[in-house]
Homo-oligomer: A and B are copies of this chain.
Amino acid sequence: MSQPDNYNFGEEAALLKDSARKFFADNFPTDKLHKMVAADHNPERLSACAWDRPLWQKMVELGWTALAVPESVGGLGMPVVVVAGLVEELGRAAFPCPLLATLNATYTLAACGTGAEAALTEIAEGMTASLAITNRQASWDLAATDVQFAQGTLNGTAWFVQDARKVDRLLVSARIGSGLGLYWVATDAAGVTILPDAIVDLTRDQAHVRFDNVSAEAVTNSGVAALQQAMPAIWTLLASDIVGAAEWQLQTTVDYVNTRQQFDHPLGYFQAVKHPLVDVMILIDQCKSLVYNAACAVDTQPSRAAEFAHMAKASASETAAYASGRSVQYHGGIGFTWECFVHLYFKRQKHSQLLWGDAAWHRAQLANILIGKVA
């Protein structure tokens, strides 16, 4: 089955994307972001979790957290291309909030069948959530977890939980016998301890979460299958966030090199600056095209969703690395200072680059699909 030429990116999608861009531009310009998250520069600082909760509430009221929730359980049931457009703008603003985390949980729950309806309803009503499915080694093998489920309780630790301190719920993966179950747990439930990580990225928080005899019920006992179905959307949306952030990096750097004069010319006059910035643009466009292709595949061509999503995230990880490096390099001395905004995106992108699989990992998965696994 082939995809619609226009990705089904119609009126509605364009409208939402534009209004989101306007929303962040009006309410959360970068200087505000910097003031909020860059207060403490001490390199040995513990993790902070600074974010604009009232503004986030506005986003919830706009229904952005319910976009991906099926209509059957009170959500808006929007296609992934629409959501990708919103997330691209989120990335452009580098806005600290649990939107991606909640969307990731939503797509996973949506793949869990009837057992997830209660949880999805909570999200439709404005609850936020994050996936707690990664082990200490951050293996991207979906069956890997350091949490066990037995006698109705969860025990163990989930690592690299994104925006853990901003969310109400966790969707936890745990070994149950030889299988993998997914569990819906409140972050304030008895036995749940959130241990914040001190991370480089100032626009997100991250934690490892300990579970001590946390009583829970399985949303599904076929966790791997559910995650497999959800990951293409999850990879694609992170790639979309990266694209938006990279576009910010490109435009900000272009503006700087057009004003900054050296040797009687703006820096942008010099091909040593001009051509690499063109290569940044080329990477961004490649990635953006692959993002909407992947999103559209999730919506209309599930048989190829994983293939295209691997392309999107592999491309995004390369884009994040290159765009970040060039943005600091071409800002020169000023770009190396804390007061300049570029490091906020530099750090967010480095975080995104390595999250949910780096470029090489996604290409290896892609090769398994296109060439076949190595015997």
**Which A residues, 258 to 277, have Cβ-Cβ distances below 8 Å to chain B?**
270-272, 275
**Which A residues, 267 to 320, have Cβ-Cβ distances below 8 Å to chain B?**
270-272, 275
Interface size on A, residues (CB 8 A): 4
Bound Cα distance A271, B275 (Å): 9
Bound Cα distance A270, B275 (Å): 11
Residues of B near A270 (CB, < 8 A) are 271
Residues of B near A271 (CB, < 8 A) are 270-272, 275
Bound Cα distance A19, B148 (Å): 76
Residues of B near A272 (CB, < 8 A) are 271-272, 275
A270 nearest in chain B by CB position: B271
A273 nearest in chain B by CB position: B271
Bound Cα distance A364, B275 (Å): 33
Shortest distance in angstroms between A264's beta carbon and chain B's nearest beta carbon?
Answer: 15
Shortest distance in angstroms between A246's beta carbon and chain B's nearest beta carbon?
Answer: 23
Shortest distance in angstroms between A282's beta carbon and chain B's nearest beta carbon?
Answer: 15
Shortest distance in angstroms between A279's beta carbon and chain B's nearest beta carbon?
Answer: 12
Bound Cα distance A57, B271 (Å): 50
Shortest distance in angstroms between A163's beta carbon and chain B's nearest beta carbon?
Answer: 37
Interface string of A101-127 (1 = CB under 8 A from B): 000000000000000000000000000
Bound Cα distance A272, B269 (Å): 12
Bound Cα distance A155, B156 (Å): 66
Bound Cα distance A271, B274 (Å): 10
**Which A residues, 145 to 168, have Cβ-Cβ distances below 8 Å to chain B?**
none
Listed A/B pairs (6) with beta-carbon separation below 8 Å: A270-B271, A271-B271, A271-B272, A271-B275, A272-B272, A272-B275
Q: Top 5 closest A-B pairs, CB basis?
A: A271-B271, A271-B272, A272-B275, A270-B271, A271-B275
